[in-house]
Structure 1
Amino acid sequence: MEGGAYGAGKAGGAFDPYTLVRQPHTILRVVSWLFSIVVFGSIVNEGYLNSASEGEEFCIYNRNPNACSYGVAVGVLAFLTCLLYLALDVYFPQISSVKDRKKAVLSDIGVSAWEMHS
């Protein structure tokens, strides 16, 4: 097994899509990306109902519009975060600076910990 700086074999290596797709964290990011689409898509499409007796639509979650807004916001932020870190996974082998690699890995860990806490 080759040693590397912060999770990569050789800094400055060429992009290999086959290796990228086979990595477990890439697979989990894609799955998380799909789940985020399901979360905000389902709330946007079916989270609000129109009542015949009332003239306006309401959120199905206890008629609280903040609940629907929160769900959509979490889904959109998860979607954007997954896209950002997928792009970082693609770009990561070309990062040659150990300090920049460390920042990328620590930001990934920090965002993941924050998401788990929320």
Structure 2
Amino acid sequence: MEGGAYGAGKAGGAFDPYTLVRQPHTILRVVSWVFSIVVFGSIVNEGYLNSPSDSKEFCIYNHNPNACGYGVTVGVLAFLTCLLYLALDVYFPQISSVKDRKKAVLSDIGVSAWETCS
């Protein structure tokens, strides 16, 4: 790969899906995307149960609906951010401005740090 700004080659090159799929951060984003589906899918499907004595649903996590809501929210946000940054990974080699590339990389770092802390 030729030298360029912020980890990509010079802007304007042809799109190469093989190179995109082989990049470690792309592979990790796809794995994170699958895990986010597992998180919110499992909580939505089996996180709420009906009590035999009560017709009201309750969350299996300490009967606290906020716990299930938090898990679903984190899973959906992770799903959406993974899709957003996968699209940015596809579009990134076409960004010609160094300032725009810097913003893209810093937003990726910032969102990753925020998701790690939450």
**What is the TM-score of this pair, normalised by structure 2?**
0.97
| Preserved CA contact (<8 Å) 1:5 1:11 | no
| Cα drift, residue 2 of structure 1 | 2.6
| Cα drift, residue 11 of structure 1 | 1.2
| Cα drift, residue 84 of structure 1 | 0.1
Which structure 1 segments of 5+ residues have no match?
none
Percent identity of the aligned residues? 92
| Preserved CA contact (<8 Å) 1:39 1:75 | yes
Query: Residue deviations 1:48-103, cap 9 Å, x none?
Result: 00111011110000000000000000000000000000000000011001110000
Which structure 2 segments of 5+ residues have no match?
none
Moved over 3 A (4+): none
Q: Distance in 2 between matches of 1:12 and 1:107?
A: 22
| Preserved CA contact (<8 Å) 1:6 1:105 | yes
**What is the TM-score of this pair, normalised by structure 1?**
0.97
SS class of match (2:58): strand
Figure out how many residues of one structure are paired with residues of the other and give that number: 118
Q: Distance in 1 between matches of 2:24 and 2:63?
A: 40
1:30 alignment counterpart:
30
